[in-house]
Structure 1
Amino acid sequence: MKCFMCKGDMINKNTNYFLDLDGSIIIIKNVPSLVCDQCGEVFYENEVMKRIEKIIDLFKNALTEIAIVNYDNKVA
């Protein structure tokens, strides 16, 4: 797959997903992604993004300012 931004090669790599949601920070670690080897652009497959959305739904109403969760099958 080629990068949408610079046309570099996309490689499989685990990354961290960060979200600032109304003053609360949600960090999802070890998310499977495609990362451009030239510009560093990160792309998530549809199934991964659906899982990220489920994880965010679980934690967006938590009574905490920061939530750090590992991306795996046990979370969502």
Structure 2
Amino acid sequence: MKCMHCQGKMKKGTAPFHIDRKSYHLILDEVPAWICQQCGEAYFDEPEVDSIQEIIQTVETQTDKLSAA
């Protein structure tokens, strides 16, 4: 597998995932990912993306409940 950004060699590892939204900031420190050995760009496989999206949906639902209280 080659990096889409720089064509460097990819290696399996972990990478942080950060998202900033209006009502919250989410940081996941060690998400399984493919890491470019040349530029450090991280790519997540579909199962990890699905899990991240599920976490984001849960956080958004809970922050909406808090805002409505």
Q: TM-score normalised by the shorter chain: which range applies?
A: 0.7 to 0.9
**Relative to total residues, which structure has the larger helix share, 1 or 2?**
2
What TM-score does the superposition give when structure 1 sets the normalisation length?
A: 0.75
Q: Does 1:45 align with 2:45?
A: yes
Larger radius of gyration: 2
Q: How many residues align?
A: 63
4+ residue runs of structure 1 moved beyond 6 angstroms? none
**RMSD after superposition:** 1.2
Identical pairs, percent: 30
What TM-score does the superposition give when structure 2 sets the normalisation length?
A: 0.81
Q: Which 5+ residue runs of structure 1 have no aligned equivalent?
A: 64-76
Higher relative contact order (CA 8 A, sep 6+): 1
Structure-2 residue corresponding to 1:34: 34
Q: Which 5+ residue runs of structure 2 have no aligned equivalent?
A: none
